[in-house]
Amino acid sequence: MRIVVTGATGNLGTALLRRLADEPDVAVHGISRRPPKSEPPYDIEWTPVDLGREGAEELLVEVFLRADAVVHLAWLIQPSHDERALFQTNVAGSDRVFKAAVKAGVPHVVHMSSVGAYSPAAKDHTVDESWPTDGVSSSYYSRHKAAVEHILDRLERDHPSVAVTRVRPGLVLQPEAAAEIKRYFLGPLVPYRLFKLKLPVLPLPRAMVLQFVHADDVADALVKILATKAEGAFNLVSDPVVTPQVLAEVMGARHVPVPPTALRTAARVSWNLRLQPTSHGWVDLALTAPLLDATKAFTRLDWSPRHNARDTLKQLLDGLGRKEGLQPSPPLHP
């Protein structure tokens, strides 16, 4: 089986390459804007492609020829102040990937979507894959994820012979991505040494209820999807649901409830002043994105996460304290 992976040097791409290295008779071709050094798990064939550039589709078609599947993981998080650049890679770039896959005759397209694609929902219940994917309007990340979902709707309608799979995980973490996650979401405003300290309090809104999943568990689900050519959408999360109280316990702190408007205002002001890279849209997404039901992945894929959410979160926090990353990968480089 020949599999082409876009965004293969990132958080999920790295985990998928590690997992595919254990699969017999699988050849992997990596697509990345900045190819890594040739070390495990990156010692595969690479083609550098900037999906945000016009003309990328022609090069993608060449790489996609004779591929059994394309796994589209590439996604741009920064620069958060330049939504046009983000759109060019995330939405227009995804469209280029899908069109190239059709032109090259790829029979299976797997897209890494997100909980962020879903429309808002109350945090007192979970939703399955039938929940609307119209996103959270104030979040550029959510708008872009929803836009790509709609592009896939057209792909399924216009090219029914192509098997399309949409993977919608919660927040995907692994310690090797600690440096990338800090760079993308916290910036220099939050020093690494803070994660070595025991914070006395953690001020968060009560509605900041989140779900996490380890990158290796998502990679395992992707391998099952590729092996069975499973179509449709799949939510991926691990237990337990992480409330502010659970997060505070993991961090050794005491949760202090604050109004959502206070956190949103703090994020908006500090982002506008370019003190940190996370816009207020991310706060809105965390407060209003639904909680996911992963029953479909459990039953249809026979998938079960090996890491629980608390351990996954603890591993990331420990990785932040160690400035952990992966040297060969440009985005994961510490």
Q: Is 181 left (phi over 0), alpha (psi -120 to 50) or beta?
A: alpha
Ordered by start, the domain boundaries in the chain are 2-174+213-237+290-307
Instruction: Give the fold, CATH level 3, of 2-174+213-237+290-307.
Output: Rossmann fold (3.40.50)
Task: Confirm if 16 and 219 have CB atoms less than 8 A apart.
Answer: yes
Give the pLDDT of residue 196: 85
CA distance 319 to 142: 27
Give the pLDDT of residue 98: 98
Tokens 């026979």: give the residue: 302
Cβ burial of 200 (10 Å; 0-12, 13-18, 19+) is exposed
Question: In this structure, what is the dihedral angle of CA atoms 244, 248, 253, 256, given to the nearest 10 degrees?
Answer: 0
CA distance 51 to 44: 20
Cβ neighbors of 78 (< 8 A, separation 6 or more) are: 183, 184, 277
- Counting every residue written for the chain, the total comes to 334
Give the pLDDT of residue 307: 98
CA distance 98 to 89: 13
User: Taking the chain (334 residues) in consecutive chunks of 10 residues, what is each chunk's mean pLDDT?
Assistant: 98 98 95 93 96 96 98 97 97 98 98 98 97 98 98 98 98 96 91 87 96 98 98 98 96 96 96 95 98 98 98 96 93 92
Query: Among candidates 103, 121, 50, 91, which has minimal Cα distance to 291?
Result: 121
Give the pLDDT of residue 77: 96
Query: Among candidates 224, 221, 195, which has minimal Cα distance to 292?
Result: 221
Query: Among candidates 16, 114, 18, 115, which has minimal Cα distance to 71?
Result: 16
Element (H, E) at 143: helix 140-158
Cβ burial of 77 (10 Å; 0-12, 13-18, 19+) is buried
Query: Among candidates 225, 68, 86, 191, which has minimal Cα distance to 148?
Result: 86
